[in-house]
Amino acid sequence: MNENNIEDKRHLRSIKTRQKLLEAAREVFIQEGFHKATITQIIKRASVGYGTAYVHFEGKENFLVILMENVMEKFYEIAEAEFLPASVNEAEEMIHKQTNEFLKMAEDERKMLQVFEQAIGISPLVSEKWKNIRKKFIQRISEDIAYAQRNELARKDVHNELVARGWFFTNEMYLWEIVRNEYEHPIEQIAKNIASIYIKGLYL
Amino acid sequence: MNENNIEDKRHLRSIKTRQKLLEAAREVFIQEGFHKATITQIIKRASVGYGTAYVHFEGKENFLVILMENVMEKFYEIAEAEFLPASVNEAEEMIHKQTNEFLKMAEDERKMLQVFEQAIGISPLVSEKWKNIRKKFIQRISEDIAYAQRNELARKDVHNELVARGWFFTNEMYLWEIVRNEYEHPIEQIAKNIASIYIKGLYL
DNA sequence: AAAGAATATGACACAGTGTCAATAATGTAA
DNA sequence: TTACATTATTGACACTGTGTCATATTCTTT
C-alpha cells in the first residue's frame, strides 16, 4: 500500500510539483509584488498546468502564507526572548538588543517582507497572521513592563499595555521603513535613539 | 459662448453627474471596502452608464483621492499647529493637545479612514498621499524637537529626526487601531499615556 | 495487463477593467 | 426654426485574471 510513503513515486512527484510551485511563487512575488503577481505567471515559471496550482494551494494568499512561515517563526522567537532584568541598566541592555534584532529582521528578510507588507493591506488571511505577531509582541512587552513595575524599576503611573503598544508601534513602523529602504540611518543608530527615549521615559 | 459658465446647462449636468458619482462612490466604499468596491456598483448606485465613470474619474483610486481631500486637509492643519513652548510644562500641554486632536480624527472620520487604510496597501496613488501627510508631521515634529533642544528644554544626545519618526509612528499606529475599532481605552487615556512616556523620555 | 487510485491539466464560466465609436443632449448662429 | 457644432453619456467590446471540474495522465496493485 505504501500509504504516506515518500518512496511512492506519485507522492514524490506531487511533492516536487509543490516545491516547484513554491519556488516559482517566491520569485514571482519578489519580482512583481503581491498585487501584480498572477497564478499564470507562477505556473508558467514552475512549468505546470494552471489547475495544478489549485490542487496544491487555495490561491495567491495561501502561497504567501506558506512562504512566510519561517519568517514568522523568527518573529515569534524574538518575541519570546526572556526578560528578567535585575536593574535598569540590565533592562536597557535587553531592550536595546531586542530592538536591534527586530529591526535586523527587516534587512535580512527585506524582499519577502516587502511582499508581506503589500499583502497585509489586501489579504485578510495575511493580515490576520501579522496581527497575531503584533499581539504576541505587545502581550510580551506588557508583561515585561508589569514585571519592571513590580520590581520598582519602572514608573507605575502609566498603563503597561498602552505603553507596550506605543513602544511596539514605533518598532514596527521602523521595521516597515527599513523594509521599504526608506531609512537613511544605520539600524544600530535607530535602535539606540528610540530605545533611549523609551527607557528614559518609562524606567526610573 | 458661455465658456466655463456654470449656468451652461450641459456643464451643470456634467457637474451633477460628477456629484452623483462621488456620493455613490463614498457609499459603496464604506459599504464594501476599497478592495471589493467596483465601478459597476458605483455607476448603478449613481444611475449613470458605465463609461461615464471614466469620463469623470480615472479609476477607483481617483475616486478615493478626491473623496479624501478634505480629510487630508484636516491632517495638514493639525500638523501645522504652532509650537513654541517656553517651558517643559507648556511643551507637555501642547504635545498632549496635538496627540488628542490627531487621535480624534480617527473617531471623527472613522469610516473614510477605514477605506483609506485599505487603499494605502493597494493603490500607489493613495499610498503616496499618506506618505506626504506622514512626512509633513515628521518634519514638523523634528523642528519642534530641534527648537526644544536649542532652548535647553530637551535632551541633546538624541537625533531629532529619528525621535520624531518614532514618536509619530506611535501616534499613527494608534490612529489606525482606533480607526479599526480595535482599541479598548478612551482616546484621552491613550494620549495621556503615550505622551507621558515621550515627554519624560525626551524633555529635561 | 487490467483495474483502480492519485495527480495533473486546460477549457470554461464568471467577474472586473478601461476604451471608444456611436448616440443623445444642449448651445449657437443664420 | 433649422442646421450644425460642441459637449456629455453610453454600453458593447477586448482584455486580464480567477477558481472549478470533467477528463487525461501517471503510477500502484492485483
Partner A contacted by B139 (CB < 8 A): no
- Span B161-177, average pLDDT: 98
Question: Quick one: which residue's CA is nearest to D5's C1'?
Answer: B1
What's the mean pLDDT when you consider all of chain A?
95
Question: Does residue B44 lie within 7 Å of nucleic acid chain C, judged by its CB?
Answer: no
Q: What pLDDT does residue A121 have?
A: 82
Predicted local confidence at residue B1, as pLDDT = 39
pLDDT band of A3, cuts 50, 70, 90: very low
Q: Which residue in B142, B140, B143, B148 sits closest to B90, CA to CA?
A: B148
**Which chain A residue lies closest to B174 (C-alpha atoms)?**
A166
Cβ <8 Å between B166 and A197: yes
For the beta carbon of residue A64, count every other beta carbon within 10 angstroms.
25
Dihedral sign, Cα of residue B48, residue B54, residue B59, residue B64: negative
Query: Mean pLDDT across the stretch A141-159?
Result: 97
Judge if pTM exceeds 0.85.
Answer: yes
Asked if the model's pLDDT at residue A142 lies above 80, the reply is yes
Work out the average pLDDT over B161-174. 98
Give which of B41, B13, B47 is closest to B27, Cα–Cα.
Answer: B41
A165/B174 touch (CB, cutoff 8 Å), yes or no: yes
Condensed to tens digits (0 to 9), the pLDDT of residues A103-138 reads 999 999 999 999 999 999 888 899 999 999 999 999
Question: Mean pLDDT, to the nearest integer, of B78-84?
Answer: 94
Which residues in B lie closer than 8 A to residue A173 (C-beta atoms)?
A: 165, 169, 172-173
What is the reported pLDDT for B177? 97
Nucleotides of C under 7 A from a protein CB: 6-12, 15-21, 25-29
Band (B121; pLDDT cuts 50, 70, 90): confident
Give the integer Cα–Cα distance in Å for B112 and B29.
Answer: 8
Which nucleotide has the shortest C1'-to-CA distance from A37? D17
Please determine, for residue B105, whether its predicted confidence score (pLDDT) is greater than 80.
Answer: yes
The residue-averaged pLDDT of B106-112 equals 97
- Element (DSSP H or E) covering residue A8: none
Contact residues on chain B for A200, CB-CB shorter than 8 A? 155, 200-202
A47 Rama sector, left if φ>0, alpha if ψ -120 to 50, beta otherwise: left
pLDDT tens digits, B11-39: 999 999 999 999 999 999 999 999 999 99
Q: Where does residue B25 rank: exposed (0-12), middle (13-18), buried (19+ CB within 10 A)?
A: buried
Closest protein residue to D18 (Cα–C1'): A39
Contact between B75 and B69 under an 8 Å Cβ cutoff? The reply is no
Residues 6 or more apart whose CB falls under 8 angstroms from that of A201 comprise: B196, B197, B198, B199, B200, B201, B202
User: All 3 cell numbers of residue A27?
Assistant: 520569485
